[in-house]
Amino acid sequence: MKRFLTLIILLSGLMAIAQQNENLNIEGKCSHVKQFNKDILAGIYDWQSKYLNDYDVTFYWLDIEISNTSTAISGNTSIYAESVVVLDTFAFELIPEQTIDQIYVDGVEYTTWSRDGDNVLVPVSPIASGTSFMAQIYYHGQPPSGGFFSGVTTDYAGAWGKNVSWTLSEPFAAKDWFPVKQDLEDKADSVWVFLTTDAANMATSQGVLTNTVTIGDKKRYEWKSSYPIDYYLISFAVSEYQQYDLYAHPDEMEGDSILIENYVYDSPGCLENYKNSIDETPAMVELFSDLYILYPFWEEKYGQTLVELGGGMEHQTNTTLGGFWFGLVAHELGHMWFGDNVTCATWSDIWINEGFATYSNYLAEEFIHSSESAEGFIVGKQNSAMSQPGGSVFIPEDEIYPGNEWRIFDGRLSYNKGAAIIHTLRHEIQDDDLFFQVMETFQTDFTDSTATGEDFKNTAEAVTGMDLDYFFDQWYYGEGYPVYDLSYYMIGGNFHLVSTQTTSASSTPFFQMLMDYQLKFSDGTDTIVRFEQTDNLNHFSVYTGKEVVDVNVDPDNWTMEDVESLTVVIDELSSPVYFSIGPNPAVNTLNVFFPSAQSAMREIRLLDLTGKELLFTRSAAKQLRLDVSELPKGVYLVRVANGKQSRVRRFVK
């Protein structure tokens, strides 16, 4: 529960949540990452701009041999593309651990190429702009295995006695296992993945299994998908699997169904262990099809493949996951809309993927389980987001590079605050039909494509007619959360609330927002009133006709805030020396607010705990900013007097 100071002052702290544990709880990402010299980031962008942007990918065809006991890959990848300039150098990405055997472009073998780290350059006969061409690269090698952010991983499922290997290419590791152009905005129109492995195994991937071919003591599984797909969503998993199929029946399909393929280890008791959880998946597919748009890949399937992963990864039409608990399945399924159908256009906008997938988990709790479980879920996300004072959901470009993946997949910001601000936006819109129309329109307008947070803002504005610049400046691009100091009193049947807002991060000095207040009356009844915070200090009033004996702030947990104090005031507010302060603790500036309607000259003193005067000024203004930047860390007092009355408040530097 969010912390409050009820009536006079009642404190309870927020639980601090370790950053990596946040990610483990959500998607199971582990911390084995490659080291990277950030200084060469600009060089990578220059290389991509100079070479990779010279063509658009239309189709990937991977024909590779894989193993459930090794990360080794061998075979070939064909890249079908269209040149956008006169192309005399074909570029792709592939790590040095993968040995290149042969390169063909339009059937011509090129034996001369160069490597610059993971970047491969192939001088070719000029290809005219607007021309379709095909490059085929034969290669073999064994990429390093390290879990998330490592391309290919192999492990042993001790509980079930099975070996398993799987891929996970997000965000920069597709090049670990196949030649690729890693550009979020260049989705391939379609993909084939042919997987040859030992005959005892089954190999899964995206799309439809169109054929299984026996080749000696091996089998080739031929998977084909005709939907646009981003490079990092191409995948495989291989083990000794058994298949368990289900069907979802969204209302929009009018009696038709969506296939849900589930692959679990072919071991006694494995399917029985997961079956009840797997069986909840159709209801989620039907729910999201109703709330967003019809499951985007309905003509093929939704798949779920079990591997030894601490969480899951939303590979298109075939999620790779380490178990089938409700929250994980809901999150990864939500990605089929937010992340796969509509993909973040930049890693700065990972919110489009992770914030909305996390909120999909909330919606599954709300509509399938109960409002109580949903509320518990979102409060946990809000408290996590407020466990530290700063950080933005939007990620600055200079923080995105190999080796810094945890900034992209920051559980507190990209996932939890990302979901919390969607919940807050839903409250700002104040119309669920409109809110879900925003979701539907966004999915429709950007289907099979990519989008930014700004694109979502524009969609929300177009659908609702609201100006949401303030909301995104505060919650998406800004940092922190609002902090409230509240006082209330009754006069002549009118309820008065004085709301002083400061913030946890000085870079975002104010949050314009709607806030709900539950008023509890002396006769045992209650009601909810809603006020819009339009300034750091607001004075609200509403006629109730009966005495308010208690106030509950944000009773349904729609918004994310810290209530520092909630005080009943009898006569103090009318005093010209009544004031509030913030932020507290202060860093460089301390704001002093005077809610009294009286315009009176006041003496304001800043004191240390010994009573030594550190600053003195006189003012009749309703708000002052005191410079405390030179003060050493410690506890200080602000004293306000007008010759007859005085009041003192304490703050921390």
Q: What is the pLDDT of residues 253-297, one digit of tens each?
A: 988 999 999 999 999 999 999 999 999 999 999 999 999 999 999
Q: Is the CATH number 3.30.2010 carried by domain 252-333? A: yes
What are 213's strand-pairing partners?
220
C-beta of residue 98 within 8 angstroms of C-beta of residue 112: no
Pick the closest to residue 58 from 131, 145, 2, 129 (CA basis): 131
CB half-sphere exposure, 318, CA atoms < 13 A: 30
Rounded to the nearest 10°, the torsion over CA 625, 631, 632, 638 is -60
Q: Among 218, 222, 250, 247, which residue's Cα sits nearest to residue 236?
A: 222
Q: Which parts of the chain sit beneath pLDDT 50?
A: 1-42
Average pLDDT of the chain is 90
Q: Specify whether the CB–CB gap between 340 and 356 falls below 8 A.
A: no
Chain segment 118-148, per-residue pLDDT in tens: 999 999 999 999 999 999 999 999 998 765 6
Q: In what order do the strands lie in the sheet with 151-157?
A: 151-157, 162-168, 237-239, 202-204
| 1-31+337-558 and 571-653: identical CATH topology | no
User: What is the predicted pLDDT for the residue at 77?
Assistant: 98
Q: What is the residue type of 66?
A: I
Task: Report the distance separating Cα 449 and Cα 349, nearest Å.
Answer: 14
Cis peptide before 583 (omega within 30 of 0): yes
Q: Quick one: pLDDT at residue 135?
A: 98
**What pLDDT score does 450 carry?**
98
pLDDT in tens, 192-221: 999 999 999 999 999 999 999 999 999 999
| 3-class state of residue 63 by DSSP | strand
Query: What pLDDT is recorded for position 537?
Result: 83
Between CA 124 and CA 221 the distance in angstroms is: 33
CATH of 571-653, one of 3.40.50.2300, 3.30.450.40, 2.60.40.3080, 3.20.20.70: 2.60.40.3080
Residue extents of the structural domains in the chain = 1-31+337-558, 44-239, 252-333, 571-653
Query: Bridge partners of 23?
Result: none
Options 1.20.120.160, 1.10.390.10, 1.20.1740.10, 3.40.50.360; CATH for 1-31+337-558 is: 1.10.390.10
> Measured between alpha carbons, how far is 378 from 394 in angstroms, rounded to an integer?
20
* 415 CA to centre of own chain: 4
The tokens describing 105, both together, are 């472009």
pLDDT at position 247 is 98
Right CATH for 44-239 from 1.10.287.3510, 3.40.1790.10, 2.60.120.200, 2.60.40.1730? 2.60.40.1730
Rg of the chain, C-alpha, whole Å: 29
Burial of 109 (0-12, 13-18, 19+ CB in 10 A): exposed
